[in-house]
Structure 1
Amino acid sequence: MPIKLDDIDRRILRALQRNSRMTNVELAEEVGLSPSPCLRRVRILEEEGVIERYVALLDASKIGMGLTLFARVWLTGQDSETVDRFTKAVARLPQIVECHLMAGDCDFLLRVVAADLDSYRRFQMDHLTRIKGVQSLKTEVPMQKIKLSSELPL
């Protein structure tokens, strides 16, 4: 259930989404609070699970993983054993950075990162198609990244 956020909470969250490395003093100044109440609010947001964690966002192309692909996966069945086996296998594969159980045409949608098409093809053949219960797989290749954001609208 969503928690009730006031305007100051929203300002704190917007600021931290842009730059989670700012000091509490900088954050307090930006949102119009003194440091102690600001820190108290941040801690409450962390304890309530609104702030799940802090991360560094990397430039994938600079670490040799500049290709993003979307794989649609159809399983042989949607029974709990098949789905559990698939989700556990996916969780072990770091190249899969998102996995969504879908309603509609396919069973799962995966966002996969790779160095290039050849490395993705090897990953697909060596890992994805070998997961027991995978019936078929279709890969979508994006032509241009228009928008990618980690910030939620507040």
Structure 2
Amino acid sequence: MADRKLDDIDRRILAALQADGRMTAQQLADRVGLSPSPCARRVRLLEEAGVVKGYVAVIDQAKVGLPISVFASVKLERQREDDLDRFSQAVARWPEVVDCYLMTGQRDYLLRIVVSDLESYERFIKDKLTRLDGVASIESSFALGQVKRSHALPILQPSYKRTD
């Protein structure tokens, strides 16, 4: 599977799983137009190839007492490989950081940090982020509201790759 492209059925399976990862094998097979056995085999191959990385429950962050999302832009003093690795390893250990991207442009990283209140964010900044060697600056932006959040990739959308 790693060296072959996804076909239309694979894409339909992935789209269906993104919409409802808890559906039964029979429901999935019905939705994509296969019998259960070949459908289950395709799902297993997608999992083994790492295309399907896992299954999760999507939690409402406000309903579990974590209503605040902060986007922090972080600039490092140096962008050497060991500095980038050290930062990435630290961020991976911090549960408050739910998303982290290595960026181009003025900042090195963009983090989405989820906390219960402003005091929790202040503690995170003071106790964790500013204590990490190599952090030159941090700019925080607080989300006022969420307009869109999706966990689904546009699997069934047309490809935008060049064909020439």
For normalisation by structure 2, the TM-score amounts to 0.89
User: Secondary structure of 2:149's partner?
Assistant: coil
Question: How many residue pairs were aligned?
Answer: 154
* CA root-mean-square deviation: 1.3
Partner of 1:72: 73
Partner of 1:136: 137
Partner of 2:149: 148
Cα contact 2:73–2:109 (8 A) shared by 1: yes
User: How many percent of aligned residue pairs carry the same amino acid?
Assistant: 53
1:2 offset after TM fit, Å?
7.7
Cα contact 2:68–2:143 (8 A) shared by 1: no
Partner of 2:158: none
- 1:11 matches 2:18: no
Amino acid at match of 1:150: H
Cα contact 2:74–2:109 (8 A) shared by 1: yes
Separation of aligned partners in 2, 1:105 and 1:150: 27
For normalisation by structure 1, the TM-score amounts to 0.95
Partner of 1:112: 113
- Runs of 4+ deviating beyond 3 Å: none
Of the structure 1 ranges 103-112 and 3-12, higher mean CA displacement relative to structure 2 is found in 3-12
1:58 offset after TM fit, Å?
0.9
CA deviations over 1:67-89 (Å, ceiling 9, x no partner) = 11100001111112222221111
Amino acid at match of 1:9: D
User: Secondary structure of 1:11's partner?
Assistant: helix
- 1:42 matches 2:49: no
CA deviations over 1:77-118 (Å, ceiling 9, x no partner) = 111222222111111100001111111010111010000122
1:3 offset after TM fit, Å?
4.3
User: Secondary structure of 1:148's partner?
Assistant: coil
Runs of 5+ consecutive residues of structure 2 not aligned to the other structure: 156-164
Runs of 5+ consecutive residues of structure 1 not aligned to the other structure: none
Separation of aligned partners in 1, 2:84 and 2:53: 26
Separation of aligned partners in 2, 1:45 and 1:15: 13
